[in-house]
Amino acid sequence: MLKLPLYLDNNATTPVDPEVLQAMLPYFTEHFGNAASRSHSFGWVAEEAVTQAREQVAQLIHADPSEIVFTSGATEAINLAMKGAYEMYSTKGNHIITCTTEHKAVLDTCKHLEKSGAEVTYLPVNSDGIMDLNLLETAIRPNTILISIMTANNETGVLQPVKAIGTIAKAQGIIFFADATQAAGKIPVDVQADNVDMLCLSAHKMYGPKGAGALYVRRKDPRVRLVAQIDGGGHEKGMRSGTLNVPGIVALGKCCAICMQQMNEEVHRIGALRDQLEKGLTQMKNVTINGSVMHRLPNVTNLAFAGIPGNKLLTEINRTIAVSSGSACTSANPEPSHVLKAMQLNDELAKNSIRFGLGRFTTAEETEYAIDLVKKVAQNL
Ligand SMILES: Cc1ncc(COP(=O)(O)O)c(C=O)c1O
C-alpha cells in the first residue's frame, strides 16, 4: 500500500533504519555509561561499543580504527579538518584549493579562513559538474597546504575524480580532504587506494540519526596533524573534546556495517529505480538531466524543467512528494543553486530544477507514482 506523502529527498536526510535504531537503543537506557569512565563497568561497556563502531566506520572506508575521530556530523568534521589543518600548517603556507560546487559547510569554512588570512582558489566545473584536473595542477603553488574536494555532490550526485586528485596531491605533498558525506555508504570509498588524507561522513545520510559523524585523519604516509577546534578533556586523541555521543556513535557504526553488506545490491536496486524515474520524466520534451550521467551516485537525479516555474512546480509536487530544489541547508534561499549555476545553467533553468533523492526504502510502486504525479503537475503548469 502506497503511503503518502512519499519521501524522495534522501540526500537531505534519510530515515533511521529499524536495525540501526535497535542497535542504538540500549545505549540510552541500560548501557548509558560515559565512554571515558575508566574505573567501572558502565564506562567499559560504553567504551567497548565505541571501539566496535570505530572499527565499523574504519572498515567502510579502508582506514585504521585509530584514524577515526567521532564528531557531531559532517559540518563539524569539515570545520575540524579545514580549520585544524590551516592552523597546524600555517608556517608552511596559507593557500587552499577547493571547488565552486562544494557544500556550504566547505565554502563557508573557506570564507571564514579567508578572513583569517587564507588565500583560497575556487576551481570551476564543466557543464557536467566535473572539475578539470589540469586546472587543479596549475592552481597548485609552493604555499598550497590543502586541497578540499567533495567525493559526490549533494545536489546532483556528480562524482569528482577523487583518485586522480589524490595522486596529484600526494605527488605534491599536499593534504587532500574529501567530503564524502553523500558518497559514504552508497558507493565504495577507499582512502588507501585513493590517497585521501582526511574524509568526513555523517550518520543521517546513511540511515542513521542526526548528530553523529566522523572525520578520518591519516596517521601514516603522511601523518596528518590538526589543531583541535573544541578543547576540553582531550577525548578523541585530543582532536575533539567532549563526552562521546555513544548511542549516535553505535548507530553510525551499525550504518556503516549495513551499508557495506548491502552496497552491491542497493547500487543496482536503487539505481534501477532512479533510472526508471528519470526515463519516465525525461519523456517530457522540456525535461533534461543536470550533471554527468556517467559519473554520479546511483540514488539521485537532478532534473531541469524548462519553461515551468520551479517554485510553482515544487510547491505542487511537495503536496504529495517530498523533493527539493537542492541542498536542505539553502532551501529557504530563493537564489538559484550555486552548484547548477557553476555548471553554466542560466538562473531560470537553475531555478526550474528539482532534485529527486531515492533511498533504501524507496519502492517501484512509489517511483511509478512519482512519475505520474510529476508529469501531471508539469503538464498542468
Ligand atoms: C556534501 C555534504 N557535506 C556536508 C554536509 C553536512 O552534513 P551534516 O548535516 O552531517 O552536518 C552535507 C549535508 O547536507 C552534505 O550533503
Q: Where are the beta strands (DSSP E) in 81-151?
A: 95-99, 119-123, 144-150
For the record, the C-alpha cell of 192 comes out as 588507501
Where are any strands of DSSP class E within 63-154? 68-71, 95-99, 119-123, 144-150
Kindly report, residue by residue over 305-351, the tens digit of the pLDDT: 999 988 899 999 999 999 998 766 555 666 899 999 999 999 999 99
List pLDDT tens digits, range 82-92.
999 999 999 99
Grid cell at residue 62: 579502508
Ligand 1 centroid to Cα of residue 126, in Å, is 23
Domain boundary among 257, 277, 301: 257
Distance CA 28, CA 49 (A): 12
Give the pLDDT band of residue 222 (cuts 50, 70, 90): very high
Q: How far is the CA of 336 from the centre of ligand 1 (A)?
A: 19
- C-alpha of residue 211 to centroid of ligand 1, in Å: 11
Q: CB-based burial of residue 300 (10 Å sphere; 0-12 exposed, 13-18 middle, 19+ buried)?
A: buried
Domain membership of residue 1 (yes or no) is no
Residue 224 located in a structural domain: yes
By most ligand atoms within 8 Å of CB, the mutation choice from 205, 297, 337 for ligand 1 is 205
For a mutational test of ligand 1's pocket, the pick from 186, 187, 202, i.e. the residue with the most ligand atoms closer than 8 A to its C-beta, is: 202
Across 9-23, average pLDDT: 98
The rounded Å distance from CA 196 to ligand 1 centre is: 18
Asked if residue 293 and residue 242 are part of one domain, the reply reads no
Residue 63 within a domain: yes
Q: What is the pLDDT of residue 327?
A: 63
Pocket test for ligand 1, best of 57, 181, 296, 302 (most atoms within 8 A of CB): 181
Which of 152, 170, 171, 176 has its CA nearest to residue 98?
Answer: 176
What's the chain's length in residues?
Answer: 381
Residue 277 CA: distances (Å) to CA of 154, 216, 229, 271, 286: 18, 35, 43, 10, 15
Closest C-alpha residue for ligand 1 atom 12? 181
Handedness of CA 139, 142, 143, 144 (dihedral sign): positive
Alpha carbon distance 367, 357 (integer Å): 11
Query: What are the phi and psi torsion angles at 212 (to 5°)?
Result: -140, 135
**Residue 105 confidence (pLDDT):** 98
Q: Are residues 47 and 103 in the same domain?
A: yes
Last residue within a domain, chosen from 257, 281, 297: 257
Same domain membership, residue 307 and residue 234: no
The reply to whether 172 and 71 lie within a common domain is yes
Same domain, 358 and 337: yes
Q: Render pLDDT for 26-50 as a digit per residue (tens, 0 to 9).
A: 999 999 999 999 999 999 999 999 9
| Predicted pLDDT of residue 310 | 83
Same domain, 227 and 307: no
DSSP string, 161-183: -HHHHHHHHHHHT-EEEEE-TTT
Domain count, the chain: 2
Query: Does residue 272 share a domain with residue 219?
Result: no
Torsion of CA 182, 188, 192, 197, to 10 degrees: 0
d(CA 245, CA 34): 9
Q: What is the pLDDT of the chain when averaged over all its residues?
A: 96
Side chain identity, residue 232: G
Domain end call among 257, 284, 318 = 257
Among the listed residues 83, 121, 80, the one whose alpha carbon sits nearest the alpha carbon of residue 102: 121
The pLDDT > 90 percentage for the chain reads 96
Q: Of ligand 1's atoms, which has the minimum distance to the CA of residue 152?
A: 1
| 255 catalytic per annotation | no
Residue 239 lies in a domain: yes
Residue 374 structural domain: 6-15+262-380
Question: Same structural domain for residues 233 and 359?
Answer: no
For residues 243 and 154, membership in a common domain is answered with yes
* CATH number of the domain bearing residue 341: 3.90.1150.10
Q: What is the pLDDT of residue 333?
A: 62
Query: 138 lies in a domain?
Result: yes
First to last CA, the chain: 29
* Domain shared by 232 and 277, yes or no: no
The CATH number given to whatever domain includes residue 192 is 3.40.640.10
Asked, for residue 376, whether it belongs to a domain, the answer is yes
What residues does ligand 1 touch, defined as CB less than 6 Å away? 73-75, 103, 105, 150, 154, 179, 181-182, 202, 213, 329
Q: What pLDDT does 130 receive?
A: 98
Q: Tell how far the Cα of 45 is from the centroid of ligand 1, in angstroms.
A: 30
Same domain as 309, residue 226: no
| Euclidean distance between CA atoms 122 and 96, whole angstroms | 9
Q: Is residue 51 part of a domain?
A: yes
Same domain, yes or no: 70 and 219: yes
Position 271 in a domain: yes
